[in-house]
Amino acid sequence: MDPSGPVQQLLSQGEKCVSAADAYLVQGRARVSRVAALVETETAFGPNFGFFMFGTKRMPVQGSDLTLVTVIPVKEDFAVEVIDDPSQDLLGSDVPVKVCGSGQVLTLNLPFGSKSGNFLTALRRAISIYTSQPPAEVFQPFAWLEKYELMTATADRSDWPWSGTGLDAMAAEIVTEGFEDNFADSLSFDDAASLASQQDLGDSEADGSGLEPVNVSRGGSASTMGSMMANPPSVREPIVKMYMLKEEAKYTHLKTFRIFAGTWNVNGQPATESLKAWLAKDSTPPDLYAVGFQELDLSKEAFVFNDSAREEEWVKAVTHGLHPEASYRRVRLIRLVGMMLLVFVRSEHNKFLSQIEAQTVGTGIMGKMGNKGGVAIRFDFHNTSFCIVNSHLAAHTEHYERRNQDYSDICARMQFNLTQPPLTIHKHNVVLWVGDLNYRLSDIEISEVKALIEKEMFWALMEHDQLKRQMNERSVFKDFKEASVNFIPTYKYDPGTDDWDTSEKCRVPAWCDRVLCKGDSVSAVEYRSHRELKLSDHKPVSCLFDIGVKVIDEDNYKRVFEEVIRKLDKLENEFLPSVSLSCVDLKFERIKFLEPQKKTISITNTGQVPCQFEFICKLDEKEYCKPWLNVQPSLGFIMPGDSYPIELEIYVDKNTAGRLNSGEDSLEDILVLHLDGGKDYFVTVQGDFIPSCFGSSIEALCNMRGPIREVPVARLVDLEAGSPSETSPEDSFSTLPIPKEIWLLVDHLYKHALCQEDLFQQPGLHSEIEEIRDCLDTGMPDTIPGQPHSVAECLLMFLDSLPEPVVPHQYYQSCLDSCTRFELCEQLMSQVPEHHRNVFKYLTAFLRELLKYQDDNKRDPKMLAMIFGGLLLKPKPDEAKRQNNQQTARRRATFIYQFQVNPYDG
């Protein structure tokens, strides 16, 4: 099929696919199936061309199967060159072509044939048009290609090992290179990776997507990448075929069949003679007949309309002439003007014939009329492929080169499309070529010819035979064989007699009618002419062959087939991405508030393919890990054998400390590490959190007489749950009015820092802050360590990490609303729960006290109000985002300010 149609579907308006061809891109030892196309658009300065190359999903292609992989503008650096490769001169083999441009050099193999020829011609024409145009800098003609270049930038993932195209390479490699190799060795790394990636495809085909407990978050590049890959074609089937082919010897054996191949130029005569003398001369009936005629019909109708009245009578004559001791089925009939080919098979063999296809090639006037040329029938008989050609080549003694050319044309243009890729004549196991090949005797007088015939010195005459000479020069029928000719020339007789031509032209006798063969285990049994048949000016010729045909042994076939499937399964499993983790169970000890701890695990790619890993979300979760955990990096790419370090950091901040202190949450998480196209691994992270007064609630702390670390965890949970002391008698009598931690901090500042400049503004020392925190959590010190700034910052942090702020969330909005009127503020505060109210009272009293020493500490009341407003009054976390603007900040400050300037004692 011509791929230019599908290519055209992908182009924009005004752009035209001038020519397109199937091609193989040669990549090292592999060949990858591609479609090459020449695209034209009209510019103000004349036509403008681009060379396009597409990846294909399947054959024959449709527009949607094509993925653009390369675009090269046809300009000064563009060149096309047919590579001379002496090893490739076999007619019908692919033509290697080098295409260069835009810094790329591509080696393509174009299938032999006129389609490829036309494509090359079109490319050359495009180059010559370009050179006749003004220089490109002047008129910038290639802007239209930019959109395509962009497409290729995103589409061509062929460098990714799992790209679908690798599979073509796999298939191609097995065909072209892998035959002698060990089974697994012939699989390159790329190939099997693609096979594995096919797995993914399988998933998505089955019901939309893989086993997907997750969707990608925090990045999501993996899925993007996945979707960018072209879907690999359904590749397993062809690969199975390739492997089966490779193992053919294991399940086939040769069985010899007798095949009759005959040819007769009947000179337009009606079928008035019985053909038994030609077709059924021997005692054993052949297994298969291939019977070719030329000049079956010389009428005008046959020539112009390929419509023949003679066809039927000759078919009948042949049918009646077949060997009477066997029954035959007609396999196929093909006729082009006067050339007809019939194939019959003994009925019992019919079921072993498959993939039957007939084609014609005309080489007459204008290179296509059917008065000369060839017709062919191909089929598979058991496991051996046959191609039978019947041809009538150009006439006249002097035109032997024309005959050679007819032969080449037939070889080049005869193409069978049932199989993929399409087949030419030479790609068959057995080729039988019959016909009026029209080669004559050269350099010899007619009298001498007749004298030699008289003496039956055919071998001497054969030295003058043009066909033999041309074959010896390897100018025609290369690799064909012919049995030795031991019969007198078959041309030219006076019709109805055995007399040589007596017309005025008085032709020199010649062996025009021949039977040639090509293939292993083909041997000629009997090559002869049949002089009994007289109606034509030619005598019919036949050659009996014994041909070894590969017959399948069912049991072995099944065994090998299962073996192949097993091996493919094994390969697929082996090439699944796989890693090992240095640790899957991380335990962090003594995690403290605001003190990050890190551990590193390493991922090693233990598989045979590069792998892409990513930590993925569990169902119904938005993040792949808990908020107190951070994983760096959360996705990456590892080559086989390489390792990749992953850092896991636990960091408990005010957002998470509350729930951890209260026992609502614990430091426990399971991460799911997903490999693209592969398995999932679980990594358990556990941390042992040391409770802190930071992040604990005011109520809970008021119920603790001792430091938090001395309180049993179970009791902590109870306290946070709001069930106060019905416990031990010694502390049951009372709760503290305010958390002792606040009292300790504030009292320290009161005693030592009232005159401290920049208090609550200059940051403390990190190490001192940790020390103070530990001190508050572990014991009741007489003095708080550290300088005033550290103590002050600690106080602020403490207030900031309260799960419920000093002014509880529920009063937040009312406080803002009434912040301008102190009585209302006071009234609101009276509703606040006791311990919170106590803390509030205590803190505001301290602020008022602090402001008495304004001269020394240079504290600005508004600034303090701002700081404490933001800590004592907080919206609910989920409302914080919406509200946190300057205006609310000012109102919060105003609220606190009221208590700084007005006397207040609850």
Partner 1 sequence: MNSNHRMVGRRRSSEAKQYDMLLRVLLIGDSGVGKTCILYRFVEDDFTMSHISTIGIDFKLKTVEVNGKRIRVQIWDTAGQERYETITKQYYRRAQGVLLVYDVTSEKSFTNISKWANDVDEYAPEDVERMLIANKSDDRDWRVISKQQGQKLADLYRMSFFETSAYRNVNIKEAFLALTNNIIRRQGIIPAPDNSCVKDGKCIHDLDMDLTAGDVTPLTDTEETKTGACSACSVV
Binding residues vs partner 1 (CB under 8 A): 93, 175-176, 179, 199, 202-203, 205-207, 210-214, 234, 236-238, 240-242, 244-245, 248, 351-352, 354-355, 380, 383-385, 419, 421, 423, 426-429, 550, 552, 565-566, 568-570, 572-573, 576, 584, 618-619, 670, 672-673, 679-682, 684
Residue 574 pairs in a beta bridge with none
Cβ-based nearer residue to partner 1, 429 or 894 = 429
Min dist CB 56 to partner 1, Å, is: 17
Contact 268, 569 (CB under 8 A): no
Q: Rounded to 5 degrees, what are φ and ψ at 133?
A: -95, 165
DSSP state string for 353-395:
EEEEEEEEEE-SGGGT-TTSEEEEEEEEETTEEEEEEEEE---
Contacts of 269 (CB under 8 A, 6+ apart): 495, 535, 536
Min dist CB 624 to partner 1, Å, is: 12
Min dist CB 419 to partner 1, Å, is: 5
Distance of CA 232 to the CA centre of its chain: 4
Q: Rounded to 5 degrees, what are φ and ψ at 409?
A: -65, -45
Contact 202, 234 (CB under 8 A): no
Taking the C-alpha atoms of residue 72 and residue 269, their distance in angstroms, rounded to an integer, is 58
Secondary structure (3-state) at 628: coil
Cβ-based nearer residue to partner 1, 320 or 349 = 349
Closest CA to 835 of 705, 721, 683, 703: 703
Min dist CB 55 to partner 1, Å, is: 20
The angle subtended at Cα 252 by Cα 251 and Cα 256, nearest 5°, is 165
Min dist CB 583 to partner 1, Å, is: 11
Cβ-based nearer residue to partner 1, 672 or 816 = 672
Min dist CB 189 to partner 1, Å, is: 19
Min dist CB 355 to partner 1, Å, is: 5
The helix or strand, by DSSP H or E, that contains position 305, with its residue range, turns out to be: helix 300-305
For helices 788-800 and 766-778, angle between their N-to-C axes, nearest 10 degrees: 60
Cβ-based nearer residue to partner 1, 112 or 694 = 112
Taking the C-alpha atoms of residue 657 and residue 628, their distance in angstroms, rounded to an integer, is 9
Distance set, CA 260 to CA 89, 137, 284, 389, 517 (Å): 31, 67, 11, 13, 12
The helix or strand, by DSSP H or E, that contains position 878, with its residue range, turns out to be: helix 877-883
3-state secondary structure 668-700: EEEEEEEECCCCEEEEEEEEEECCCCCCCCHHH
Min dist CB 618 to partner 1, Å, is: 6
Beta pairing class for 430-436 and 513-518: antiparallel
Min dist CB 205 to partner 1, Å, is: 7
- Secondary-structure percent of the chain, ordered helix, strand, coil, rounded to 5: 40, 25, 35
Closest CA to 139 of 42, 43, 14: 43
Cβ-based nearer residue to partner 1, 312 or 569 = 569
Type of residue found at 355: Q
Cβ-based nearer residue to partner 1, 383 or 818 = 383
Asked if the peptide bond before residue 60 counts as cis, ω within 30 degrees of 0, the response is yes
Min dist CB 155 to partner 1, Å, is: 25
Cβ-based nearer residue to partner 1, 240 or 845 = 240
Q: Which two tokens stand for residue 41?
A: 């658009």
Min dist CB 351 to partner 1, Å, is: 8
Min dist CB 688 to partner 1, Å, is: 17
Taking the C-alpha atoms of residue 436 and residue 515, their distance in angstroms, rounded to an integer, is 9
Min dist CB 608 to partner 1, Å, is: 15
Q: Which two tokens stand for residue 243?
A: 């492997």
Q: Rounded to 5 degrees, what are φ and ψ at 584?
A: -115, 5
Min dist CB 166 to partner 1, Å, is: 18
The angle subtended at Cα 216 by Cα 215 and Cα 220, nearest 5°, is 155
Residue 21 pairs in a beta bridge with 36
Distance of CA 799 to the CA centre of its chain: 57
DSSP annotation of 416 reads: B
Taking the C-alpha atoms of residue 676 and residue 135, their distance in angstroms, rounded to an integer, is 49
Residue 33 pairs in a beta bridge with 24
Cβ-based nearer residue to partner 1, 193 or 423 = 423
Q: Which two tokens stand for residue 413?
A: 């243009």
Secondary structure (3-state) at 317: helix
Contact 136, 92 (CB under 8 A): no
Min dist CB 547 to partner 1, Å, is: 14
Min dist CB 544 to partner 1, Å, is: 23
